[in-house]
Structure 1
Amino acid sequence: MAQDSFFLKADVSDKIDFELASNLIIIPVEINGVTLSFVLDSGVSKPILFNLEERDSLDLKSTRSFYLHGLGGNGRIKALKSSHNRFKIGNVIGVNKDLYVVFDKSINFTPRLGVLVHGIIGYDIFKDFVVEINYMSKYIRLHRPHTFKPKSSKKWKTIPINIHRKKPYLNAEITINKDKKPVKLLLDTGSSDAIWLFENKREGLMPKKDLFFEDYLGQGLSGSVYGNRSKADKFTIGDFSLSDVNVAFPDSSYVHAARAYKERSGSLGSNILKRFNVFFDYRNKKLHLKKNRFFKEPFTYNNSGIVLEHHGTMFVREQISMSQDNNKKMSSDFSAVKIDFSIEHIMVLKPVYKIVELRTSSNAYASGLKVGDILISINGSPAYDYKLPELNEIFHGKTGKSIKLKIERNGKDMTFKFKLDNAFKKMSAHIERSSLD
């Protein structure tokens, strides 16, 4: 067994099903016998655990203090480096693995994703296997590099990549304001967006004229990231071209560490990668791509201006109908008493959602909604009947769609109506943010 490597004993490959949330791949990872949920993130060079209640539950050994640098306004995070850990992903085993543990409770992706996530893992998997990602069927397959054979179909295209400090990069072309520019982008399966670009006036990497707005861009290791959203006329990787692509320009204060690699222009995220079947081959420095049915899906924005967060749970009384067999049995047991056993109720734990970001140019803001409002219902249906990605899908609907929200504010129920509007209508607007960020 190689030091600090993953290995697969018998098979030439191993298939692992994943959950897809906000375009992010979430896989089960067993660490020291405890099964956790990790985002598969090609943009990270080390496995990081950040949603751990009890330090001793994983039997962490050989620990020492360490600092991690990541996206966000705070710059760096104090962590604990633990060595000699045992990892298991499907039938793939890793021994003597390092793990970086962050105990800062504010570092938690679960509320914004609406899915339990304990950490992120990337390079440790990609360096030891050819990693196949099938976004349509929601599985990854880890291939032994020496047995892997690329697909021979003409539909598959091979793109060269380079690995710099354990992270993959590719060259592409982007057209903004009818000006075509070469870009070098980090391949980042841990980004739910399409493209992030570092603003650079000299190189012509700027938001499209008269077509941008300030927005919440996402959650980094060091906190929330804000910047401008815009559009690109065209984006090209090898023989593949996409039109009217979403592009975000993060504020420079949030991406100082990410800009340390001078050749890097930005990141290519999962909102583009999900449009392909993908093979990552780090050892041969290749990316194999084939279009899937997501390829022609339009790029949309959150036209509501609302960002929701999972805000705990509550008990809800739900009505259930009992089966006829149970009705007959219970009726015979209580034959002298007339009781209707056809309906029963149970208490079910349901999610609670809170507004944590609100774009001030939006119709939602103009209607009177505020950061901190608790969502009770949407268009007459209880909010707790939806998963967070399903609510976000509604907010990404077409301009003009009517939305009716019932919310709770300071103990009072209130109702607001608005129509989804064009996110680009007012470029000067800002974001009303949660006081917790």
Structure 2
Amino acid sequence: MALNKMKKWFVLLLISTCLGLSSFSQDKFIIQNNKQTEKIKFKLINNLIVFPVEINGVTLSFLLDTGVSKPIIFNFLHVSDTLLTKNTETIYLKGLGGGEPVKALKSTQNIFKIGDAVKIDQDLYAIFNNDLNLAPRLGIPVHGIIGLDVFKDLIVEINYSKGFLKLSNPESYKYKRCRKCEQLNLEFYNGKPYVNAKVEIENKKIPVKLLIDTGGSDALWLFEDDSLGIKSSEKFFYDFLGHGLAGSVYGKRSKVRSFQFNSFVLKNANVAFPNAENVFSATQIKDRNGSVSGNILKRFNIIFNYKKASMIISKNNKFRNSFSYNKSGIELAHNGFRVLREIKNNSVKVNATTEASNDNIIKTNHYKISLKPAYAIVELREGSPAAEAGFKTGDVVLSINGKSSHEFTLHQVMQMFYADHGKRIRLRIDRDGEILNLSFNLQKLF
């Protein structure tokens, strides 16, 4: 009798183990802990979410991007050599920008871990285009981007106010009651989420369908369409808008009177109207009018449920922050390192030898050699205050308002250019070995 019970127990244990292995081996992300949920801290840099992802045992920094359907690493960093990627083949990917499709290396059977969220058979795409290096423009290492594969498998909460992601298995997820929340319906094209909103342009409220793009740092991109009334006001300026897979994107920057998600209304929101030739492929998606990105999304805490095609939003402490923009005309990027020789003072105490003598302090100078980040001008808007003051692309910034540039993060330096109209900015620069002191006032454009 005892033997039969032992056999029965063994059979049940074997079935349970097999079921566990079966669920673990599924081709999707699953939270592998008892709580069925995992919290991941992230950094919000230039309105973008940067968080750790482990691939084949190597921990990297990724952007969370609802606008991408494939996980991508930037292979010029030689990351794929470390990842031991398998079963590779060459393909070509198309994206925003005016260039040709970019070459990528596809590999399969990669193991991805985001905290306790695990997927053991993940495709991965390595891109060799140096222009897609995000690290210099963000000032921190960024090795890749990931989107659809996380969102389609899990409930994803983005808490912009506290800086964490909460990932949950859909089967065990329970919504909390929220009286001040709004639920928005999602539509999907090629695995990317779209949402309906309204914009107010020249006293006309216009319904728009927008890609939700957590991988974009701007507030709002709209595709100009005179028939719908989607066009820039008379107050605008031309600017560099960003990099896509296929090259740089340029266009107009302006304001809309309001942006609206159901009952939530944001006044005087920033908007960009990209040049049509830079976003041609995006405009081919039926009824798409543009994108809503980080500078608007960060004002909400968001719960994405792709399986139910829903998005629940609530205001956070960033909601009432005013929309600002770069009033200098300068875009900076991390440009390697500068070698600095810093004086290090050492004081040596010499004891007195007679009663009449005082203790003597002998000072000696030693030099400490260190590497500090260098920030260079990579984009300069024509006619901007910085351009009029004589700055040029390639100038390396040594100091800002009398303080060494390496004492700031790149993000902190760029934030100075978003300050109030009229603020004086003094920059000391290195131009091919020539040291120059130039200055300008930030200029309000609308």
Both proteins in one fold, TM over 0.5: yes
Q: 1:110 matched to which residue of 2?
A: 135
The one of 369, 372, 391 aligned to 1:347 = 369
The one of 299, 311, 317 aligned to 1:293 = 317
> RMSD of aligned C-alpha atoms?
2.1
Which 10-residue stretch deviates more, 96-105 or 339-348? Answer: 339-348
Checking the alignment, whether the CA contact within 8 Å between 2:112 and 2:122 is kept in structure 1 is yes
Other structure's SS at 1:258 match: helix
User: What pairs with 1:351-430 in structure 2 (closer than 5 Å)?
Assistant: 351-424=373-446
Return the alpha-carbon distance in structure 2 between the equivalents of residues 206 and 397 of structure 1: 27
Report the Cα offset of residue 60 of structure 1. Answer: 0.9
Question: Cα deviation per residue 1:276-308 (whole Å; 9 max; x = unaligned)?
Answer: 111111111111111111000010110001111
Checking the alignment, whether the CA contact within 8 Å between 1:305 and 1:423 is kept in structure 2 is no
Return the alpha-carbon distance in structure 1 between the equivalents of residues 41 and 411 of structure 2: 19
Question: Cα deviation per residue 1:383-435 (whole Å; 9 max; x = unaligned)?
Answer: 111111101110001110011111111211111121001235xxxxxxxxxxx
Amino acid at match of 1:23: N
Structure holding more helix per residue: 2
Report the Cα offset of residue 331 of structure 1. Answer: 5.9
Checking the alignment, whether the CA contact within 8 Å between 1:51 and 1:108 is kept in structure 2 is no
In structure 2, relative to structure 1, the CA distance for the partners of 1:378 and 1:188 (3 Å cut) is same
Q: 1:315 matched to which residue of 2?
A: 339
> What fraction of aligned residue pairs are identical, expressed as a percent?
45
Checking the alignment, whether the CA contact within 8 Å between 1:109 and 1:219 is kept in structure 2 is no
Report the Cα offset of residue 347 of structure 1. Answer: 3.2
Q: Which runs of 5+ in 1 are unaligned?
A: 425-437
Q: 1:264 matched to which residue of 2?
A: 288
Q: 2:356 matched to which residue of 1?
A: none
1:185 aligned onto 2:207: no
Return the alpha-carbon distance in structure 1 between the equivalents of residues 63 and 141 of structure 2: 10
Checking the alignment, whether the CA contact within 8 Å between 2:350 and 2:362 is kept in structure 1 is no
User: What pairs with 1:198-217 in structure 2 (closer than 5 Å)?
Assistant: 198-208=223-233, 210-217=234-241
User: What pairs with 1:14-413 in structure 2 (closer than 5 Å)?
Assistant: 14-54=38-78, 55-208=80-233, 210-318=234-342, 340=362, 346-413=368-435
Amino acid at match of 2:87: S
Other structure's SS at 1:348 match: strand
Report the Cα offset of residue 321 of structure 1. Answer: 7.7
Amino acid at match of 1:174: V
Report the Cα offset of residue 130 of structure 1. Answer: 0.8
Question: Cα deviation per residue 1:77-115 (whole Å; 9 max; x = unaligned)?
Answer: 110110111111111111110001112222211111111
Checking the alignment, whether the CA contact within 8 Å between 2:71 and 2:147 is kept in structure 1 is yes
Report the Cα offset of residue 23 of structure 1. Answer: 0.5
TM-score with structure 1 setting the length = 0.90
Checking the alignment, whether the CA contact within 8 Å between 2:76 and 2:129 is kept in structure 1 is no
Largest Rg, 1 or 2:
2
Return the alpha-carbon distance in structure 2 between the equivalents of residues 320 and 176 of structure 1: 59
Q: 2:14 matched to which residue of 1?
A: none
Other structure's SS at 2:413 match: helix
Report the Cα offset of residue 342 of structure 1. Answer: 9.4
Which 10-residue stretch deviates more, 177-186 or 253-262? Answer: 253-262
Q: 1:427 matched to which residue of 2?
A: none
Which 10-residue stretch deviates more, 141-150 or 126-135? Answer: 141-150
Checking the alignment, whether the CA contact within 8 Å between 2:235 and 2:445 is kept in structure 1 is no
Checking the alignment, whether the CA contact within 8 Å between 1:41 and 1:120 is kept in structure 2 is yes
Other structure's SS at 2:77 match: coil
User: What pairs with 1:2-21 in structure 2 (closer than 5 Å)?
Assistant: 3-10=26-33, 11-21=35-45
TM-score with structure 2 setting the length = 0.89
Report the Cα offset of residue 372 of structure 1. Answer: 1.3
